[in-house]
């Protein structure tokens, strides 16, 4: 036990002596949490909106005014022709084109219905889908008021029949995207720091030649590995603590569930990441090689974790692949505990899979580490 403590003490001294490493460990992750949580948004704003008003009546102007009043649209101009509007969309100067047909108001009064032409720049399919929802909502809102205005009064007053829906939003009442994104970004930062540090730590010993000296000492392989990885486990838990404080103080993210449950799961999850980092370091000779390999797997795990895109929308083969993705389970647990208040039994499936992952990865890492006496 004393041997392990000496190694841990030596590792902490090495970390704090490296002045260039300290900002990377303690400052950059916090800046990334603040910046990414504000930048990674599903909302689409400042949509460049153009229209072709072929009717030029009070009704058509009222419709355009609805878009102008919306905070999502930036109404640019009234195009004189469809060809000119299409040309501006081709140049990227407009995102949505609304075409109001001739006799729009007259046909509404006579036929009680009409058609509108909507052209959306769909290079970014996700943004186009959101923009289509915004357009539909504005037109539906306009249509509800229009029905009341166009009701004909004859011998008796005819009242339009309306159905009112009252939505109830659970877990994120304000529909704030930061409430959804901050727990995931926190997962990203804890994973990134612990994976890179653990992956490059032993490789650094190889580069400077101290690993060979340690290998010929009586230090056991298990003692050496525990002593090397424990400091990064502590750093990972510390990053989680600071990240939770920032999430609460800056972004006002609710923390309904148990903090001890989050720490319990995170302590096991970090063991998985440390095992992966150690496994990578055993097969690399330079820090650059370790960093590239770690980054390769990290990008795949993040993109297929459900952090930015729903797993349900992925192909079937990708959904099967995500079952072997430890980041997926951490993202799920963080959101479940923080936002839903899930308990131990709720996260038990993820906890057991992560524990199995930790045993397998650390077993492979210890097995692949070669120590010569």
C-alpha distances (whole Å) from 142 to each of 64, 67, 78 are 10, 10, 19
* Same structural domain, 288 and 231: yes
Q: What is the reported pLDDT for 261?
A: 94
> Could you tell me how far CA 76 lies from the centroid of its own chain?
32
pLDDT, one tens digit per residue, over 209-220 is 776 666 667 777
Question: CA-CA distance, 66 to 138, in Å (whole number)?
Answer: 7
Shared-domain flag, residues 192 and 132? no
φ, ψ (nearest 5 deg) of residue 48 = -75, 115
Is residue 34 in some structural domain?
no
- Supply the pLDDT for residue 155: 43
Domain boundary pick from 89, 114, 149: 149
Q: Around Cβ 125, how many Cβ atoms within 10 Å?
A: 8
Q: Give yes or no for a contact between 189 and 266, defined as CB atoms under 8 angstroms apart.
A: no
Alpha helices in 209-257 (DSSP H): 210-215, 221-249
Same domain (yes/no): 63, 123: yes
Tell me whether residue 3 is in a domain: no
Q: Over the stretch 243-268, which tens digit does the pLDDT of each residue have?
A: 899 888 888 888 898 999 999 999 99
Q: How many domains does the chain have?
A: 2
**Domain check: are 180 and 256 in the same one?**
yes
Domain finish residue from 114, 149, 184: 149
Q: 208 and 329 share a domain?
A: yes
Q: Give yes or no: residues 234 and 99 share one domain.
A: no
Percentage of residues of the chain with pLDDT beyond 70: 88
> Is residue 188 situated within a structural domain?
yes
In a domain, 258, yes or no: yes
Buried residues in 238-249 as b, exposed as e (16+ CB within 10 A): ebbeebbebbee
Residues 96/118, Cβ–Cβ less than 8 Å: yes
Domain residues for the domain of 360 are 174-368
283 shares a domain with 134: no
Q: Cα separation of 107 and 100, whole Å? A: 12
Q: Does some domain include residue 347?
A: yes
Kindly state whether residues 235 and 363 are assigned to the same domain.
yes
| Tens digits of residue pLDDT in 214-240 | 666 777 777 778 888 888 899 999 999
- 21, part of any domain: no
**Are both 223 and 132 inside the same structural domain?**
no
CA separation for the pair 351, 357 (Å, rounded): 10
Output the pTM of the full model: 0.77
Query: Of the candidates 139, 150, 95, which has an alpha carbon nearest to the alpha carbon of residue 120?
Result: 95
Residue with tokens 């404080």: 245
Per the domain annotation, does 53 fall within a domain? yes
Nearest Cα to 273, choosing from 223, 241, 239? 239
CATH of the domain at 132: 3.40.1710.10
At 74, which helix (H) or strand (E)?
strand 73-78
The per-residue pLDDT for range 54-69, each reduced to its tens digit, is: 888 888 888 888 888 8
Residues 113 and 178 both lie in one domain: no
Look-up of token digits 């980092």: 277
Using pLDDT thresholds of 50, 70 and 90, give the confidence band for residue 149: low
Question: Are 250 and 120 in a shared domain?
Answer: no
Task: Note the pLDDT tens digit of each residue in 342-372.
Answer: 899 999 999 999 999 999 998 888 888 765 5
Query: Would you say residue 115 lies in a domain?
Result: yes
pLDDT on residue 55: 85
Task: Centre a 10 Å sphere on the Cβ of residue 42 and count the other Cβ atoms it contains.
Answer: 11
Residues 143 and 186 in one domain: no
**Lowest-confidence range among 76-85, 137-146, 314-323?**
137-146
Which residue, of 149, 164, 182, is where some domain finishes? 149
């Amino acid at each position: 036990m004393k041997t392990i403590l000496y190694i841990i003490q030596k590792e902490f001294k090495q970390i704090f002596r490296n002045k260039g490493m300290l900002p990377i460990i303690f400052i950059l992750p916090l800046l990334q949490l603040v910046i990414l949580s504000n930048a990674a948004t599903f909302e689409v704003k400042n949509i460049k909106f153009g229209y072709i008003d072929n009717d030029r009546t009070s009704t058509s102007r009222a419709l355009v005014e609805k878009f102008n009043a919306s905070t999502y649209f930036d109404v640019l101009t009234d195009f004189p022709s469809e060809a000119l509007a299409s040309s501006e969309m081709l140049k990227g100067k407009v995102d949505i084109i609304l075409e109001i047909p001739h006799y729009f108001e007259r046909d509404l009064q006579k036929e009680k219905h009409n058609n509108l032409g909507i052209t959306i720049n769909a290079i970014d399919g996700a943004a186009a889908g959101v923009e289509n929802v915004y357009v539909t909502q504005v037109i539906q809102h306009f249509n509800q008021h229009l029905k009341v205005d166009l009701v004909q009064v004859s011998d008796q007053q005819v009242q339009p029949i309306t159905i009112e829906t009252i939505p109830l939003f659970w877990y994120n009442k304000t529909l704030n995207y930061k409430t959804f994104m901050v727990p995931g970004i926190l997962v990203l930062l804890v994973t990134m720091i612990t994976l890179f540090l653990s992956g490059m730590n032993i490789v650094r010993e190889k580069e400077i030649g101290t690993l060979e000296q340690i290998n010929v000492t009586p230090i056991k392989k298990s003692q050496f590995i525990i002593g090397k990885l424990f400091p990064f486990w502590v750093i990972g838990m510390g990053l989680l603590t600071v990240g939770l404080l920032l999430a609460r103080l800056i972004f006002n993210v609710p923390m309904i569930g148990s903090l001890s449950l989050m720490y319990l799961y995170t302590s096991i999850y970090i063991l998985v990441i440390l095992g992966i980092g150690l496994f990578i370091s055993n097969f690399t000779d330079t820090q650059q090689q370790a960093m590239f390999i770690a980054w390769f797997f990290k990008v795949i795990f993040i993109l297929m974790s459900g952090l930015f895109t729903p797993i349900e929308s992925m192909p079937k083969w990708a959904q099967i692949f995500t079952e072997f993705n430890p980041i997926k389970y951490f993202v799920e647990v963080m959101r479940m505990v923080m936002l839903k208040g899930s308990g131990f039994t709720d996260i038990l499936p993820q906890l057991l899979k992560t524990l199995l992952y930790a045993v397998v990865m650390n077993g492979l890492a210890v097995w692949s580490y070669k120590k010569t006496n």
